[in-house]
Structure 1
Amino acid sequence: MFQPALTMNTVLACVDAHGHPSAVCDGATWVAHRLHAPLNFLQVVDESEAHTGETHLSDLTGYDASPTRTQALDAMPGSHIIGGQSHSQQLLEGVRARALHLGHSMVELSLRQGKLTDALLDLSAETRMVVMGLHSHHLDSPWRQGSHHLEQALQAVQQPMLVVTRSHFTPPSAFALAYHGGAESLQLVDAVADCELLQGLPCHLVHVGARNPDIQAEMSQAAQRLADAGFSTHIVIESGDVAQVLGRHLTIQQLPLLVMSAFTHNGWRQKLLGTTTSTLLRRIPTSVLVLR
C-alpha cells in the first residue's frame, strides 16, 4: 500500500480504465491548478470486479511506457498482491504523465486493493476535493453501468466532489447553479460564494418550477449574496422537468459545469442523486460539482 506524503489540501482523483481516465485527469488537473493544491491519483483494484482486458492509454498525452516511468510503481510496497497490477500501473503512470504535460508538477500516485469507499474514507483527512468519472463501458453514454460506485462515493465522502460525466472535460468559463429554493439552497449559495474553485466565473442561477413572487424574491437575495462575493449572476426561472430544463439550459448557454447541493434529500436531490441517478443524470450534458 502506497501512502503519499500529502496535505489536507490534496485533490484526490479516482481513476478507472472504464471511467473516462483522461477526462478525469484533465478535470482534476484543472481543480488542482485553481486551488493551488497537490494532486493524488487513486486507483483502487477490487478483486471481485478485476478485469484482464487491455488498458487503452493512447489518449493520455505525454504517456511514456518506458521502464523508468514505471519504476516508482514497481517499487510500491504491497503492489505485487494486486491483481491486474500492470494495467493499474500503466493507468496511473498515464494520468500522471498527462497531468505533468498539462503543467501540474505536484502529482502523487496511490494504488490500493479493496473497496473504493474504504480508500476514500481512509484518505479523507488529507483530501480537499474528490474528482471521479463514471464506471461506464460506453463513452459518452454515461450512467449506464456501475453507477453504484459513484452513488456509494457520494454517500461516503464529506468533501466536495467533481463528477466528470463525459469522455472529455472542458474547463468552465461559467457555470449553472441548480437552485431549488429554501434554506438548503441558500446554504449552497453561501458554499459557492466561499468556493475558491469557482471564483471569477459567471453564475447562471437556475430554478425549475413555478414563477411566483416568493421564489423571485428569494433568488434576488441569492443573487445579491453572490454579487457581494464577486460573482456576476444571471437568474433563470423555468417550469418543466428538472433534468430536461437544466440540460437544455446548459446546452444552449454552452455551460460545461452544473453546481448542485448535497445538503438536502429533498425532491431535487432525490431525483438527481437518488435511486434514479442512472436515468436522470445521463441527461445532464456537463460535469457536475456537488458542494457540501
Structure 2
Amino acid sequence: MFQPTLTMNTVLACVDAHGHPSAVCDGATWAAQHLHAPLNFLQVIDESEAHTGETRFSDLTGYDPGTTRTQALDAMPGSHIIGGQSHSQQLLEGVRARALHLGHTMVELSLRQGKLTDALLDLSNETRLLVMGLHSHHLDSPWRQDAHHLEQALHAVQQPLLVVTRSHFTPPSAFALAYHGGPESLQLVDAVAKCELLHGLPCHLVHAGARNADIQAEMTQAAQRLADAGVSTHIVIESGDVEQVMARHLTIQQLPLLVMSAFTHTGWRQKLLGTTTSTLLRRTPTSVLVLR
C-alpha cells in the first residue's frame, strides 16, 4: 500500500473548464482541510489540443475578475487571452478565491504547459492526494467518455485519487466500500483503516453477488479489521449486477462517496478506465476515492 512521506503533504487538484472546476475545488478543499494540508490547483495546457468554447466562471463563488495576476501566470506562454486575461489564469484565480471563501488559506496555483502526466510526475514528490474531475459538455448531463486523463493519472502516479464525478461535491458523512472478495479486497480494507481522509466516517461494506458462507466469513473478517481501526462498519450483501447494486445502495443510503481499489482488475476498474462511455460513473451518484 502507498504510504506518504513527510514531504508528500500537498493535495493536488487538477482543474480545467470542462471538468466541473467548482466541484473539484470543493472536493479538494474538503480533503485539504480534513488532512490539514496545503492545496495546489494545477492546470496543464496541452498545445496539441485546440481551445474550444468559453470558460464558465459563474459558479466560482468569490471570484474577482480584477484580481491581480501573479508573475508566474503572466509569464505563461501560449495561453488563450480574452480581454487581456487568459482563460487559464481566470480559472486558477477563480478556484483559489473559492477555496479561500470556503476557509482554506494554504492555497497555491500551478500552470504548466505540456502533458498532464509530465506535470503529475514533476509534482509527485510533494503530492499526498490527487483530485480530478470528469469532463462533460453540459452540467449534470449524461457523461460523455473522457476517462483518458484519469487512466493517464492512475498509471503515472502512486498517490490516492479522488474523482469528482458531478457538478457539485458533497462532503461525506459516510462512505461505501466496494468489496469484491479475495486478497485485493482485504488490502483495500487495510488501506481504508489507515486512510486519514476517512477517519471517523462509518463504512458500508458492500458486496454484489451471491451470499455464501465463504463471502460472509470474509466480510466479517474485513469488518473486524475496520472495527479494530475504529471504523464503524455495516455489511451489505446483495445479489445482482455490481453497477445496479452499488448505485441503488448509494442512492437509498444517500452516501456521497464510493471507495475502491486501484489494484483490482474487476469490472469496476475496467469501467473506470474503459474506452466506451463509463456506465459506472454515469450511474453512480457519488465521488470515487481510489486507494492504492
Question: Quick check: TM above 0.5?
Answer: yes
Distance 1:268 1:145, change over 3 A: closer
More helix by share: 1
Aligned to 1:80: 77
On the 8 A contact 1:192/1:198 being kept in 2, the answer is yes
1:210 counterpart residue number: 210
The 8 Å contact of residues 79 and 88 in structure 2, kept in 1 or not, is answered as no
Is 1:259–1:288's contact at 8 Å kept on the other side of the alignment?
A: yes
* CA distance in structure 2 between the aligned counterparts of 1:164 and 1:112, rounded to whole angstroms: 22
Matches within 5 A, 1:232-243: 232-243=232-243
Partner amino acid, structure 2, of 1:235: I
Q: In the alignment, what sits opposite 1:289?
A: 289
Q: 2:3 — aligned with what?
A: none
Structure 2 residues not aligned, in runs of 5+: 1-5
- Higher deviation after alignment, 108-117 or 188-197: 108-117
- 1:100 is aligned to 100
Matched with 1:29 is 29
Match of 1:199 in 2: 199
Secondary structure of the residue aligned to 1:119 is helix
1:53 Cα shift? 2.8
Q: CA deviation at 1:276?
A: 5.0
Counterpart residue identity of residue 109, structure 2: L
SS of match in other structure, 1:71: coil
**Mapped pair 1:222 → 2:222:** yes
Aligned to 2:68: 70
SS in 2 for 1:48: coil
Residues 89-111 of structure 1: per-residue CA shift (max 9 Å, x gap): 00000000000000000000000
Matched ranges for 1:264-283 at <5 A: 264-275=264-275, 278-283=278-283
Instruction: Identify the residue that residue 260 of structure 1 maps to in structure 2.
Output: 260
Specify the alignment match of 1:115 in structure 2.
115
- Structure 1 residue 38 and structure 2 residue 38: aligned? yes
| TM-score, normalising length: structure 2 | 0.92
Q: Which runs of 5+ in 1 are unaligned?
A: 1-5
Deviation at 1:78, TM superposition (A): 4.2
Question: Is contact 2:169-2:287 (8 Å) kept?
Answer: yes
TM-score normalised by structure 1 residue count? 0.92
* 1:134–1:142 contact (8 Å) kept in structure 2: no
Counterparts of 2:142 and 2:32, CA distance in 1? 24
Q: Which residue of structure 2 lines up, in the alignment, with residue 171 of structure 1?
A: 171
Deviations 1:153-185 (A, max 9, x none): 222221000000000000000000000000000
Query: Residues 22-64 of structure 1: CA distance to partner in whole angstroms, max 9, x if unpaired?
Result: 0000000000001000000001111222315321111111111
Please list the CA deviations of residues 169-222 of structure 1 after superposition, one character each: whole Å capped at 9, or x if unmatched. Answer: 000000000000000000000000000000000000000111000000000000
**C-alpha contact (below 8 Å) 1:142/1:166 kept by paired residues:** no
- 1:88 alignment partner, SS class: helix
CA contact (8 A) 1:70 1:93 kept: no
Moved more, 86-95 or 115-124: 115-124
Correspondence for 1:3: none
SS in 2 for 1:81: coil
CA distance in 1, matches of 2:157, 2:69: 32
* Residue pairs, 1:136-175, within 5 angstroms: 136-141=136-141, 143-175=143-175
**Distance in structure 1 (CA, Å) of the matches to 2:79 and 2:61:** 26
Paired AA for residue 70 in structure 1: T
Equivalent pair of 1:135/1:149 in contact (CA under 8 Å) = no
CA–CA separation in structure 2 for the residues paired with 1:109 and 1:255: 31
Amino-acid identity (%): 86
Check whether the contact 2:69–2:89 (CA below 8 A) recurs between aligned residues. Answer: no
1:274 CA displacement? 3.9
> Aligned with 2:86: secondary structure?
helix
RMSD: 1.8
